[in-house]
Structure 1
C-alpha cells in the first residue's frame, strides 16, 4: 500500500502530538500539540530562540524530537519503512530561507533535480515540466540557462519556489519566505504564493516574523512562546489572547495597522 492510498480523508495534513525537544540542558519545546488541516495557510510565529525553525525541521523530518510524534498525511515522517518515507516526502515541498539552490547547477537543473530523483521521467518530459514551473513563478524560459550567482534575490526565491513545486506537492513549507527582499519584491512574492495556493489548493506552513507576509497569506496563526504554543487560531482569535508576547508582537501601532488590513 502506498503512502497516499492509506490516508484518511478527514485526517490532518500535519498532526503533532506531545513533541518535546531539548538541546543538552536547554529545553526548546514542551509537549507541543498542533494540527494543520488541508488547505490551511498556517503562520508559525515566535520570538528569537522560541523554536520555530526547530519545529519546522521536525515537521519535515530533518530533526527528530526527543519525545512525541509528528505525522504527515497520517504517517510518521521518520517511519522506518523506506517506501512510506519516500512517498510522504514526495508530497511536500520546502522553500528554505536563502533559497538553498545548488550553486553548481543551472536554474533548469535546480528545478529538474527533484524530477530526476524520481528516475521514471524522460528528459524531454522533465524539460517541459521545468518550463511549466518557471511560468508558474512568472519567470521566462531564457532564465533556465542562468546560474544561481547570476540571479537577483527575488529571482532566487522564485526559482526555489519553482523547485519546491516541481512534484506538485500537497504541502508547501516556507522558512522566512520574504527574508532579504525589499518591500515591493516581498509583496509581489507573497501575492504569487497566494495566487498559486488558490489555484493549486496546497496546504502551507510558514515561519515568518514579517507582519505583512502574515497579513497577506495566513488563514491561521500558531504562536510559540514559553516552550509551548500559547495560541492557535484565526488571526482575530490569536489577537484576542492576552499574553505579553502577543501584545508586543501584534499590538504595536504598525502591527495593528497591518493586521487590521487583513481582518477588514
Structure 2
C-alpha cells in the first residue's frame, strides 16, 4: 500500500476582504521532495504556507498533511500531526526575551514529558546539527549575527524531529557566502534526516542548490509544477520574467 502524499491541497480558495488570493488551487507533494514555491509579490505564497501549517483556514477546499484533513476535529490527532512539521520563518521569529537554549527548548518543554536533563541533551544535539556549540546556548537573540539567527531558528524548527520542514525565504538577508553555507546545511540535513521540504524563495542560487521540484503560484493557482527541468519548458510571463530569459540558471 502506497503512502499518502505529505501535502495534498484540493480546490483551495482563499480571499481577503473580497479579493481572491487562491482560486481552485491544487498541489501534491510526496515524501522526500524539496519543493521551491515561486510567485510574484502578493500572489499568496506565505498565505499558502500558513494554510499548510494550519494557521489560516481557506474559505473552501481541503488541506491534508500525511493523509489527514486539517479540519479533522480530533484534537489529539491534530496535535500529533503538528509535531510532524517544523517551520523556519523569514526573520527567524526567535523569542527576544529567551536565550538561544530556551528558544530551542521551548517546543520540547511544551511536550511536558521530558525532564531537564533530556531537554538539555536534545538542545545541544540540535545546536550541533546546525553547526553551533553548546556555548552558543547562553547567547540572547540580539547578540546573534543574521546567519546565526537562521541556524538557531532552524535548530528550533527541528527540535521535535519533524518529517516536513517549511521554509519562508530561508536565505533572505544573508550575504552570498553565508547564503551558500546555509543552503548546503539545509541540503545536508534533508539528506541525513529524510525530510520533505517546501520553501518560498526568490533566490535563484537557493532554488538551484536545493529544489528537486518547483511549484509556480500565478493567476491565483498553481499554474505549473514539476522538476526544475520541466519548469524550464513552461511558457508563462512570470516564469520568463523570474529567470530573466535564461532558464539555464535553474540547472
| TM superposition score normalised by structure 1 | 0.93
Contact 2:22–2:44 (8 Å) recurs in 1: yes
Deviation string 1:151-180 (CA, Å, 9 cap, x unpaired) is: 000000000000000011000000010111
Runs of at least 5 residues in structure 2 that lack an aligned partner in the other structure? none
Are positions 1:187 and 2:180 aligned together? yes
Deviation string 1:120-158 (CA, Å, 9 cap, x unpaired) is: 001001000000000000001110000000000000000
Identify the match of residue 140 of structure 1 among 128, 133, 142: 133
Contact 2:243–2:249 (8 Å) recurs in 1: no
Q: Secondary structure at the match of 1:103?
A: coil
CA distance in 1, matches of 2:140, 2:185: 22
Task: Tell me what 1:258 maps to.
Answer: 249
How far is the alpha carbon of 1:79 from its aligned partner? 2.4
Are positions 1:126 and 2:106 aligned together? no
Q: Secondary structure at the match of 2:180?
A: helix
CA distance in 2, matches of 1:147, 1:232: 41
| TM superposition score normalised by structure 2 | 0.98
Aligned positions of 1:1-264 closer than 5 A: 9-253=2-246, 256=247, 258-259=249-250, 262=251
CA distance in 2, matches of 1:251, 1:79: 43
CA distance in 2, matches of 1:63, 1:34: 17
Q: CA RMSD in A?
A: 1.1
Q: Secondary structure at the match of 1:129?
A: helix
The number of equivalent residue pairs is 251
CA distance in 1, matches of 2:30, 2:243: 24
Deviation string 1:75-108 (CA, Å, 9 cap, x unpaired) is: 1224221101101000000000000000111000
How far is the alpha carbon of 1:190 from its aligned partner? 0.4
Runs of at least 5 residues in structure 1 that lack an aligned partner in the other structure? 1-7
How far is the alpha carbon of 1:257 from its aligned partner? 5.0
CA distance in 2, matches of 1:77, 1:241: 32
CA distance in 2, matches of 1:80, 1:177: 32
- Structure 1's consecutive aligned runs of 4 or more residues displaced over 3 angstroms after TM superposition are none
